[in-house]
Amino acid sequence: MTFLKSRKYFILLLLAVGIGVLDQATKWLVLRNFHLHESVHLVPGFFSLTYIRNTGAAFGILADADAAFRVPFFVVFPLIALLAIGAIFHKLGEKDRKLSIALSLVVGGALGNLIDRVRFGYVVDFLDFHWNYAYHFPAFNVADSAICVGVAILMLDMAFAPEEPEAKGEDASASL
């Protein structure tokens, strides 16, 4: 089956490019219309759009690390992760839509944030959930959302996947 006729690769192309475009478009809107740290309260006491620059990983991890380490790390590590995901994706069966979707979401999100890191040296975050403006969940973006949903699908699939049948010739009591 050729690359373009393959359902799993069609899913990958559609979702990864779609997430990447949506992520970059929303970030462009934030960059064009907000000043750094500016907020617009959409649901008072619960949800705001707030322009944040995240120089770290998820939730700002390693944000205070030296830039000489941080910048190359946050460009090289995602590239290695994308190669690993690509290898796993290639081994997926054609009919494994759930895992194709999950990995495609992760790829799209990783690409969206990688574009920011290469362009700016940081990731643009803007979705700001909080409780009465005092307790904030770390700000995030469309790419982060896609990664989290993709990883959640993978985790649920692993947690609820049917058990593998035992290999022939193995005695079930031997594992007790």
pLDDT tens across 32-70, in order? 999 999 999 999 999 999 999 998 777 666 667 777 777
In-domain check, residue 165: no
Q: What is the pLDDT of residues 145-164, one digit of tens each?
A: 999 999 999 999 989 877 77
Cβ contact 39:127 at 8 Å: no
Do the domain assignments include residue 142? yes
Catalytic residue among 23, 116, 128, 144: 144
Quick check: is 116 catalytic? no
**Domain-embedded: residue 170:** no
> Would residue 61 count as lying in a domain?
yes
Domain with 36, as residue range(s), is 7-160
147 domain-assigned: yes
pLDDT of res. 76: 85
Whether 96 is catalytic: no
Is residue 94 domain-resident? yes
User: Which residues lie across from 48 on neighbouring strands?
Assistant: 41, 128
Residue 92: inside a domain: yes
How many domains does the structure of the chain reveal? Answer: 1
For 124, other C-beta atoms within 10 Å of its C-beta total 24
- Is 173 among the domain residues? no
pTM over 0.85: no
Q: What is the pLDDT of residues 88-97, one digit of tens each?
A: 998 988 888 9
What whole-number percentage of the chain has pLDDT above 90?
A: 61
The one-letter amino acid code at 16 reads A
Active-site choice (125, 128, 157, 171): 125
